Chain A
Amino acid sequence: MTRTPLRRFADYAVLSVLAFIFVLPVLYLILGSFKPSDQVLSGLTGFLPTHLSFDNYTSVLDSFDSEATGYFWRFMGISVLLSTVVVLGGLIINSMAAYGLTRLKWRGQKAVFTVVLLLMLVPFEAVAVPLFYMFNDQRNTIYIQAIPFIANAFSLYQFATFFRAIPSSIEEAARIDGAGPWRTFFAIIVPMSKPAFASVAILTFLTQWGSYLWPVLMVSDPSVRPLPLEMGVFSVQQPVDWGQILAFGVLLVLPVLIVFAFFQRWFIQGVASSAVKG
């Protein structure tokens, strides 16, 4: 496609204006997190880079320092722990199941896979209330926040689509060499499926890190609270300290942003493949 310099300039102009509007809220968040509270909610001057300091960050880390308020690093630790368990556990069991259900031959395998496809129709929201009732006596534990999310029909399905595209000759060669299904899977299939693992891992991490509904239902004790839930609690505590709230917000989003910056390609591919490949 040929493009004149004028058109090229127009493209950049439109994109830049749109991108600027899009980034404004993020800019406001970051600037505000370095400003004293009374300078945050102060009209358009909220965008002026004045009075900047790390005070909000140090106060956030300092003010969460008792059992009653919870500890900041504990919220962070809980979130990291939950994401790690859900992502790693999910990668292992969902990929294994996808392999067992699509590449191994056994009676009833297709029927079971169809059941998985049906379960994929059920969003978490549709089971949140009964799960809350079923596990009501496990409230305020750490494990109940992670366990329901490890097995995931959509991840399983994503692995299944990927594994199906692997030529069966590869497995047959492994089998002839005497490798059983387990070894074939772990030594051959897993290493050649890195893209699938990467995109499933990232999508799972993204959903888990920001997860809000389940913690609302299951967690009231600050000592097992994950970050996003505390974000909601902290942001409405009186007196409202906007500077600190925004600093908290930056610390909440920073880990995902870092992961995003490093694995951007996989984020975008993961999202795109979830739709286009199907």
Chain B
Amino acid sequence: MKTVEPAHAAPSGRDKAPPATTAKPPRPARKSRDWVPGLLMSAPALGGLIAFVGVPFVYAIVLSFYNVRLGSPVPPTFFGLEQYRRIFTDPDMSGPFLRALTNNLTFAVVVVPVQTGLALALAILLNRKLKAIGLFRSLFFMPVVFPMALVAVIWRLILARSDQGLLNSALDAVSFGNWGAFDWLGDGLTAMASVIVLSIWQGVGFQMVILLAGLQQIPSELYEAAQLDRASRWQQFRHVTLPGMRGTLVFVAMLTSVLAFRVFDQVYVLVNGGGLDEDATRTVMYQAVTTAFNQNNIGQGSAITVVFFLIVVVLTLIQRRVVRPGNED
């Protein structure tokens, strides 16, 4: 995901090889000898990326400066920064968006450390030469392949507000019947926590697999040396595993934070008929979609989209900056 350096490393290596053989091929001709096939091969994907990523992306910025409504007979009018003023500072209209922003921030602040930590713990547990370890790996990874629409349905049953809900009846059993039914999804206090739990359940296997690959790159000699020095398990973790995993951990944490801001499916499914408290769980993407799709307000939906993109870009840039030096030393 972080990139670029191979780009200038590769050609220099290739240029060195040919002169050893015969007379130098003429440089300029070689430099662009393949431009027809090169362009033809790249054209379909480039065309698609321009049409479905590049153009709409620029269009989002343009639309965010207009008052555009879908299906409205009134033609779009230039609106300047009005949409941004409305979502950020207008006392009457900024409420839901600002709530979405804080909700999303809460989600990220909890999910990033918890999910990364849990993924690391699982990865360490699974980085062993035990029988059937592959089975365990698959079990923890399995929820990753579950479509969010289904995950939402399963957790709706687990967290159901009736006393027949799985969690409620389990709590009832361990409290010897003293637990009254609680509406986990519908209560403003626990709604976000519920979304967090089901999201971590579905996603942690993904981070775990990445961290597992990182763990396997730590040379086993380092652990052997640590054991010769009589380092405890905790000391090995602290002084071998953590330093060796720094780059991978930062990468996973940043990846998770980007994913955290993209949260949409589970909130949308659970709010629309699942009894999830809307205000406590609306996310930035949820807000963008409901504004554009349910209220036909394309201009404001685009402005929210642009803000969403800026958040993602900042997170990605931080990720690249932090990961690079970590991997080099």
Which A residues form the contact surface with B (CB < 8 A)? 1, 8, 11-12, 14-15, 18-19, 22-23, 25-26, 28-29, 32, 40-44, 46, 93-94, 96-97, 99-102, 104-107, 109-110, 112-113, 116-117, 119, 121-123, 125-134, 136, 147-153, 156-157, 161, 164, 168-169, 172, 180-182, 185, 206, 209-210, 212-213, 216-217, 227-229, 231-232, 235-236, 242, 245-246, 249, 252-253, 256-257, 260, 264, 267-268, 271-276, 278
Contacts and interface: CB of A to CB of B under 8 A. Distances in A.
B234 interface: no
Interface in B46-94: 46-49, 52-57, 59-60, 63, 68, 70
27 contacts: A43-B164, A43-B169, A44-B169, A44-B170, A96-B44, A104-B41, A107-B35, A110-B7, A123-B312, A127-B60, A130-B57, A130-B60, A130-B63, A153-B53, A156-B49, A157-B1, A182-B37, A210-B265, A231-B153, A235-B152, A249-B150, A256-B145, A272-B210, A275-B213, A275-B251, A276-B248, A278-B1
B154 A101 contact: no
Nearest to A272: B213
Contact of A212 (B54, B147, B252, B293): B147
Give the dominant DSSP class at A's interface.
helix
A18 B17 CA distance: 54
B146 A210 contact: yes
B163 interface: yes
B45 interface: yes
Q: Which 4 A-B pairs have the closest CB atoms?
A: A151-B48, A236-B273, A43-B169, A210-B147
B17 to A, nearest CB: 7
A72 B34 CA distance: 49
Contacts of B136: 15, 19
A235 B269 contact: yes
Contact of B139 (A19, A113, A212): A19
B30 A133 contact: no
B20 to A, nearest CB: 12
B230 to A, nearest CB: 13
Contacts of A106: 31-35, 38-39
Nearest to B135: A19
A276 B213 contact: yes
Contact of B308 (A44, A121, A125, A235): A125
B228 interface: no
Contacts of B56: 127, 130-131, 134
Given A123-B262, A133-B68, A112 B213 contact: no
Nearest to B71: A136
B302 A130 contact: yes
Contact of B41 (A25, A126, A185): A185
B41 A181 contact: yes
Contacts of B217: 276
B316 A121 contact: yes
A97 B262 CA distance: 27
Contact of A104 (B34, B53, B251): B34
Interface size class of B (residues with CB under 8 A): 35 or more
Contact of A97 (B1, B41, B59): B41
B242 interface: no
Question: Which one of B41, B138, B142 has the greatest number of beta carbons of chain A within 10 Å?
Answer: B41
A181 B34 contact: yes
A109 B38 contact: yes
B321 interface: no
Nearest to B313: A121
B130 A168 contact: no
B182 interface: no
A46 B166 contact: yes
A133 B141 contact: no
A199 B4 CA distance: 22
Interface in B133-161: 136-150, 152-158, 160
A23 B201 CA distance: 10
B16 to A, nearest CB: 11
A184 B168 CA distance: 62
A117 B3 contact: yes
Contact of B48 (A93, A104, A235, A273): A93
A151 B34 contact: no
A232 B149 contact: yes
Contact of B206 (A136, A253, A271): A271
Question: Which one of B30, B34, B126, B272 has the greatest number of beta carbons of chain A within 10 Å?
Answer: B34
A43 B149 CA distance: 23
Contacts of B95: none
Given A236-B274, A275-B251, A169 B17 contact: yes
A106 B32 CA distance: 4
A97 B302 contact: no
Interface in B256-293: 258, 262, 264-265, 268-269, 272-274, 285, 288-289, 292-293
A186 to B, nearest CB: 10
Contacts of A157: 1, 3
Contact of B158 (A25, A149, A228): A25
A276 B214 contact: yes
B173 to A, nearest CB: 6
Contacts of A18: 122, 125, 140
A127 B40 contact: no
Given A94-B45, A106-B32, A272 B209 contact: yes
Contacts of A41: 157, 160, 162, 164-165
